[in-house]
Homo-oligomer: A and B are copies of this chain.
């Protein structure tokens, strides 16, 4: 019996699976996550803007660029010609965290959920890097697939989490 994990062949060897027979369709994926921090750190990010340093602007670019590097980072991901990447942030004062959402779009033969999850993760890591001088205790969490559309497996709607 084969592994239900599609990245392994019948002998259990890792392989980049064949997608050449799949249709070229429009595929979209949205991933979400957050980075939790001290309220003072959140205030620095919120008040920063252009004058004191635009943490979220740097993190947004890092996330977008990371989406393009996904096949370099995730061993069995296919190289893809992404047609859109967007990364957005919401400041959650009550939860003392920055919420991160990334959406990736492609006209191609395989899904882009890994690209969206990678964009969220690297945006969060970049916020950590920018703020670690004042807050080493930040925690990245809740990184999950929120939405996926296109391709054979149809639409997926993740938990509201």
Which residues of A are interface residues toward B (Cβ below 8 A)?
Answer: 3-9, 12-20, 26, 33, 44, 48-55, 57-58, 60-62, 64-69, 71-88, 105-109, 113-114, 117-118, 121-122, 124-126, 128-134, 136-145, 148, 156, 158-159, 161
Main secondary structure of the interface of A (DSSP, over half): mixed
Q: Which one of B62, B72, B107, B128 lies within 8 Å of A20 (CB-CB)?
A: B107
Whether the Cβ atoms of B64 and A76 lie closer than 8 Å is yes
The answer to whether B137 touches A140 (Cβ under 8 A) is no
Q: List 5 A-B contacts (CB under 8 A).
A: A15-B84, A18-B105, A64-B76, A65-B75, A79-B79
The answer on a CB contact under 8 Å between B72 and A16 is: no
